[in-house]
Amino acid sequence: MELITYNALETIQVGYNLTKVLQAGDVILLTGDLSGGKTTITKGIGKGLGVKRIINSPTFNIVKSYEGDNITLNHFDLYRLSGLNNDFDLEEYFTDDSICVIEWPNNINELLPKEYILINLEDLGNDRRKISISLVGKRYEGRDLKCIQ
């Protein structure tokens, strides 16, 4: 699925709408350029999950966890990681009582689950974003993304 948003509020709305098809244990991988809207779409996911705190980039912490309505949102920014030489147990966060959103997942491909939602955000200029969403793995079979538009 591909769609275009024309401002940050529309990008947040895409994240919010995505929560209609999310389930505990889901992993969302966010790719795209710097300032491409990865944290912005995560704000919408948090809003849809009932997170009350302000969501911002966890660049210097690697991960921030937020409590929502009956579920935890783990938000990762792996931009500063390079390879597996870091003492970081990402797998411990992949649980059935949370949803994980991972920015810059390509920096740790070896640790990623085999099934995930892949969202690529492309900056088109003037606050416009091209958002491409793919569902990867049997876990996501049968999920209808029409509600995201």
Query: pLDDT tens, 58-69?
Result: 667 788 999 999
What is 2-80+92-148's CATH topology? Rossmann fold (3.40.50)
How are strands ordered across the β-sheet holding 63-67? 2-5, 128-136, 116-125, 27-32, 98-103, 72-77, 63-67
Instruction: Give the domain ranges of the chain.
Output: 2-80+92-148
CA 73, distance to chain mean position in Å, is 10
CA 74, distance to chain mean position in Å, is 9
Cα-based torsion angle of the residue sequence 43, 46, 47, 49 in order, rounded to the nearest 10 degrees: 160
pLDDT of residue 46: 98
pLDDT of residue 18: 97
Mean pLDDT of the residues in the chain: 89
List, in order, residues 6 or more apart from 142 with CB less than 8 Å away: none
For the chain, percent of residues with pLDDT exceeding 90: 66
- Tens-place pLDDT, residues 72-116: 999 998 877 665 555 567 777 787 889 999 998 987 787 888 999
